Amino acid sequence: MKQKEAFAIFVGAIMVLSAFAGFAFRGGGEGNVTIKQAPTSLDAFGMQGRLVDWNFNSLEDVLKMSPESTVSAYWVNLDRSDDLTDSAKGGLPRSYGLEFGDKPGQLYPNNVQKMAVSYFNGSYVEFHWVNPFQIGYDGLVVPYQDYMIIPSSANMGLVVGKPILFGPQASLSGVIDVISGGLPTDRFTLLVGQKADLQAAYLGGVANAPLGGGYKEFYLGVSDLGSEYLLDAKYLDLGASEGKVNDLSSKFGLNATTEFGVTELEGTIDRARLKDALKSFTAP
């Protein structure tokens, strides 16, 4: 997808969810909605039907909710530091949760503490981890597998829970199928057991994959150490992208090793260079 087209779609999603958020916070429209702060439990949402209730501590948890056709995903701990959040905004693909999750009232009454995006079938679903807030909603819902999809336009919607799901309704149903017992993707192996404050994973050989996609799989993890960041990049069966990976190793002063088909770049980088590193490692 061309950059201008992707940006236009992103702006459209912003407008759709902004309209829903304003409606939900103020009340009005076809339904009657009121929202106020509430204790931190799923029951506090006050919604009927099943609520999403899933671990959300790493990208591995996200991929366990993502369909088999998933080709890439990222997860960010927005509570870790403002600097990490700002770098992620400038260095990762744009998303509503990433752009506005740290601004109370833009999406929800509370900050988005952690967020993720999973890309599949030419579409996506966003995951937003928020302390629950009271929702009184008697407008239109779309029941699916006992979950209630709240439409925010003709084709976009929300599913309440921890995390909250947001995206095109057809894509939401794909994630609901997985959390209801369907098969998740099993094609991402490099991130298993990995922990970091920011994580991204990509399959190679697909359109717009980072560095040309000349590998089977790519994982990127970033951990905030306080004065600097620890960056860990892994490539499975590195092939045609080898030259670009070597260039990144030199550019950011990272140690490169290869063992059992996995090429790993690891090292610390200055805080001021994280945005550039994210752009460089995820560029097509």
For residue 129, the cross-strand partners are 114
What does the pLDDT read at residue 14?
45
The confidence score (pLDDT) of residue 41 equals 80
Q: What is the DSSP string of 205-262?
A: SSTT-GGGG-SSEEEEEEEE-SSEEEEEEEEES--TTHHHHHHHHHHHT-EEEEETTE
Hey, what domains does the chain have and what are their CATH numbers?
Answer: 3-179 (no CATH), 198-282 (3.90.1150)
Residue pair 164/127 in contact (Cβ under 8 Å)? The answer is yes
CA nearest 240: which of 279, 201, 203, 212? 212
pLDDT, tens only, 219-272 = 999 999 999 999 999 999 999 999 999 999 999 999 999 999 999 999 999 999
Query: Could you give the 3-state DSSP secondary structure of residue 226?
Result: coil
Predicted local confidence at residue 136, as pLDDT: 65
What is the pTM (predicted TM-score) of this model?
0.88
Q: What is the CA radius of gyration of the chain?
A: 19
Cα(170)–Cα(56) distance, integer angstroms: 22
SS3 166: strand
The pLDDT score that the predictor gives to residue 154 is 74
pLDDT of residue 126: 98
The per-residue pLDDT for 94 is 95
pLDDT exceeding 70 applies to what percent of the chain? 85
Q: Return averaged pLDDT per consecutive 10 residues of the chain, 284 residues in all.
A: 39 45 38 42 85 97 98 98 96 95 89 97 97 80 94 88 96 98 98 97 96 97 97 96 97 97 98 97 96
pLDDT at 27: 33
What are the φ/ψ torsions at residue 150 (nearest 5 degrees)?
A: -90, 110
Q: What is the pLDDT of residue 25?
A: 37
**pLDDT tens for each residue of 21-38:** 543 433 333 333 333 443
Contact between residue 163 and residue 65 where contact means Cβ atoms under 8 Å apart: no
Q: Would you say 279 and 88 are in contact if contact means Cβ atoms under 8 Å apart?
A: no
Nearest alpha carbon to residue 116 among 69, 183, 163, 185 = 163
Task: Please answer whether residues 160 and 150 qualify as being in contact, where contact means their C-beta atoms are separated by less than 8 angstroms.
Answer: yes
What pLDDT, on the 0 to 100 scale, is given for residue 11?
42
Give me 113's structure tokens: 């503490």
Which residues does residue 72 pair with via DSSP β-bridges, in sequence order? 119, 202
Q: Tell which residue, 50, 92, 57, 49, has the closest CA to residue 73.
A: 92
